[in-house]
Structure 1
Amino acid sequence: MVKVFVLVFFCCFYVGQLHSQNMVINPSFEEIWDCPYTMDQLKYVKSWFPFGTADPSPDFFHGCASDGFMGVPNNMFGEQTAHSGESYVGMICYLTSRSGRGWKVPANHREYVMVQLTKPLVAGNEYYGEFWVNLVDACEFSINNIGMYFTKDMPNFDWQTMNFHHYKAQINSDPDQQLDDNEEWTKVSGTFTAKGGELALTLGTFLPDSSLETKRTKRKFITGRDKNLPKHLQPMIAYYLIDDIIVRPVDPTEPIFPETVAMQPIDIEYYGPAEVGMKFTLQNIYFEFEKATLLRSSLLELNKLKDYLVKHPHIKIQIEGHTDNVGSREINQKLSTERAKSVVEFLIANGISDFRLEYIGHGSSYPIVPNDTPQNRALNRRVEFSILEN
């Protein structure tokens, strides 16, 4: 009897450990900077970022909201408890006004939420994805598609009408199931094989209006209507709440964080010879979107740089930050400087003398390729180091 109990306990523990693995940072939106008090405040949720085809404005709801307008369970869209905890996000996944004259948005209007994973996905490996959705009480439509889209870099939506032939979600809700439940949460899940290097996860609807099956809810959105606008031009929406996102390897032996350099042989010449004037680009350095906060997925490369400096104790280097040309010159200059500083601070915190380190930001002044495609802009957003003394 004791042996049976131990076996059952071990199996339950193993399954619990497997299901506790999650490559999504802040998966249920509980880690926050501040309480929401109005719409368009996803910025208060740590690690998550907004995207969309017009001015993107996914919303954040939390039990700490004092007036109930953005609260949980009661808010401007009705009443809904969180799937877990006391927080969730909401976004428009369908909008009827093709002219956009109601809210000045284009056709196929969508809002999205995006997060960076704990490490890039491994080519050929299989991954499981899951999230929970709920249609709010106060909206006019439901639809049959919400999905998970994995990319190496954040998608370049640019607040324009989306090219839905380019963006293909790897995991989608069942197309035969209308997502019309406004009481219980609906699970969307699936598996896919990674191409390799995928680090960004975006959630939302990646089909054009013409490919969606819509269903009227016979309910009304409670605010924001223009009484002077003709009824056929009034924007009417499908608005969904999202909670509890999971991404994990199907293989339980695959770690969800980058393997430490200590587990791998150190290649002294990983960056090249330690000669004055040499410049090297750091690979796989990731920051929070539009911030200088280093993500844990950067640790592998940062530790390689630290080991390089340990192996070459006499060199002095300068960390240099670069951005693409999106945004103002002043913002890019500040961001590139702060990101270079973050790398220096990591090295100092890990035992490298500050005397050996300098940092500078170049903004968008030194692109290595034209800033004309999302892929090229990603290449221009980089961190380099140059050897000043040896």
Structure 2
Amino acid sequence: MQKMYFVLLASYLLSARGYAQNMVINPSFEEIWDCPFSMNQLEYVKSWFPFGTADPSPDFFHGCAKDGFMGIPENMFGQQEAHSGESYIGLICYLTSKSGKGWRVPANHREFVMVQLTKPLVAGHQYYGEFWINLADACEFSINSIGMYFTRDLPHFDWQAMDLGYYKPQINSDPSVSLHDNKGWTKVSGTFTAKGDELALTIGTFRPDSELDPKKTKREFISGRDKNLPKHLQPMISYYFIDDVKVIPLDPNESIFPDPIALAPIEEEYFGPAEVGNTFTLQNIYFEFEKATLLRSSLLELKRLNTYLEKYPRVKIQVEGHTDNVGSQGFNDQLSTDRAKAVVDYLVANGISKFRLEYKGYGSHRPIVPNDTPQNRALNRRVEFLILEN
């Protein structure tokens, strides 16, 4: 069992070996599943996920796109070489319209992109973050704010207009400077001290519309828009390309990978007494956004549970999935069930008899705290196990 776990870890380390000290997985979007042929295809970029205040739809551009629509250097937003390689992504950082049937959007409309780091950040340690941006040619406005937000959990932004003032990125562009360059790339960077266990990085504009300073670029609208449409119906958009994302520990002795010592089998009692009726919450279990695919950062906790079940061979458990209250009840019920099953599937694949394992999803029906803040919703999104027999 232990050998299997370290084989998985070795594979993980090798996959990130080429990124030197960078803690960002697939930092320049070069690792892809397929070439883009339309908008809204961030899913073709490995390890990156979309978030947004509406149905999020960041875009992916690559030199392999042959029709010029989602290509590099030419694409539907104009012309721009990649900062490095042959790929970058794009997202809406500001979009508003006073009216207009086709372009009516709520205040604070945003798109975000998220990626998992190679390991959780260490409390009290300092880190350097950096990424490069370029204002797309076909943008009527530039803005003055875009940043990096580090969290322990995948930030579950509601897909609706929200109070963006709540979210405070640890690294942000200088608000006194308009990000207007559409020719070259502009670096956004900074340092911060980690609170501890931050594992997810989200990039985007976190300030509300009321705190932004949009500057008109006097550029033409995107090809295909109705230029005869009255000005008060035209959308006002700031769309930025992003490339080469980097997070580096400032302590030269800190590895960007999990400490192998910490991955050794646990000798002391970790979860608690194996008594019928006891329920334990699994810590640091992470899934892809709105999916039941376990992320690699979950391996340590899963190994601990596997070791616990090996220590108590008579124990039978029920793995239980829970969500917050964002989204439909039916979707959350199914998602929580699928995530609980994913944990069971891992245990079975690592030698635990399936006859000792059950799973059940409770959706949002059993919150442990009110779903009234992002932190509380993160606590309610959890996986637990209940001891059924011993």
TM-score (norm 1): 0.86
C-alpha spacing 1:283/1:32, structure 2 compared with 1 (3 Å): same
Q: CA deviation at 1:73?
A: 2.1
**Distance of 2:175 and 2:379 partners within structure 1:** 36
Q: CA deviation at 1:242?
A: 0.5
**Is this contact kept in 2: 1:309–1:315, CA < 8 A?**
yes
C-alpha spacing 1:363/1:54, structure 2 compared with 1 (3 Å): closer
Is 1:238 matched with 2:238? yes
Once structures 1 and 2 are overlaid, which stretch shifts more, 148-157 or 232-241?
Answer: 148-157
Q: CA deviation at 1:50?
A: 2.1
Q: Which residue of 1 aligns with 2:374?
A: 374
Instruction: After superposition, give the CA deviation of every residue in 1:177-203 in whole Å (9 maximum; x if it has no partner).
Output: 432222222221111011223222211
Q: Which residue of 2 aligns with 1:167?
A: 167
Q: Which residue of 1 aligns with 2:45?
A: 45
**Distance of 2:333 and 2:46 partners within structure 1:** 24
C-alpha spacing 1:53/1:339, structure 2 compared with 1 (3 Å): closer
**Distance of 1:308 and 1:83 partners within structure 2:** 48
Q: Which residue of 1 aligns with 2:117?
A: 117
**Is this contact kept in 2: 1:32–1:45, CA < 8 A?**
yes
**Is this contact kept in 1: 2:165–2:208, CA < 8 A?**
no
Instruction: After superposition, give the CA deviation of every residue in 1:53-102 in whole Å (9 maximum; x if it has no partner).
Output: 33432211122334221122221011222222322111122235355765
Q: How many matched pairs?
A: 374
**Distance of 1:256 and 1:313 partners within structure 2:** 36
**Is this contact kept in 1: 2:321–2:362, CA < 8 A?**
yes
What are the within-5 Å matches in structure 2 for residues 1-390 of structure 1?
A: 20-98=20-98, 103-223=103-223, 225-226=225-226, 229-260=229-260, 266-390=266-390
**Distance of 1:189 and 1:19 partners within structure 2:** 18
Once structures 1 and 2 are overlaid, which stretch shifts more, 27-36 or 242-251?
Answer: 27-36
Instruction: After superposition, give the CA deviation of every residue in 1:226-270 in whole Å (9 maximum; x if it has no partner).
Output: 557531231122211001111121113223333346556724421
Q: CA deviation at 1:45?
A: 2.4
C-alpha spacing 1:134/1:106, structure 2 compared with 1 (3 Å): same
**Distance of 2:257 and 2:335 partners within structure 1:** 26
Once structures 1 and 2 are overlaid, which stretch shifts more, 323-332 or 256-265?
Answer: 256-265
* Identity over aligned pairs, percent: 76
Q: Which runs of 5+ in 2 are unaligned?
A: 1-16
Q: CA deviation at 1:345?
A: 2.5
Equivalent residue of 2:201, what SS? Answer: strand
Which amino acid is 1:142 matched to?
S
Equivalent residue of 1:43, what SS? Answer: helix
Q: Which residue of 2 aligns with 1:14?
A: none
**Distance of 1:326 and 1:31 partners within structure 2:** 31
Equivalent residue of 1:165, what SS? Answer: helix
Q: CA deviation at 1:131?
A: 0.6
Instruction: After superposition, give the CA deviation of every residue in 1:105-135 in whole Å (9 maximum; x if it has no partner).
Output: 1233322212232333222111111111111
**Distance of 2:332 and 2:165 partners within structure 1:** 31
CA RMSD of aligned residues (A): 2.6
**Distance of 2:295 and 2:122 partners within structure 1:** 18
**Distance of 1:388 and 1:288 partners within structure 2:** 29
**Distance of 2:321 and 2:139 partners within structure 1:** 45
Instruction: After superposition, give the CA deviation of every residue in 1:119-166 in whole Å (9 maximum; x if it has no partner).
Output: 332221111111111111221222232111122334453234342431
C-alpha spacing 1:224/1:273, structure 2 compared with 1 (3 Å): farther
Which amino acid is 2:367 matched to?
P
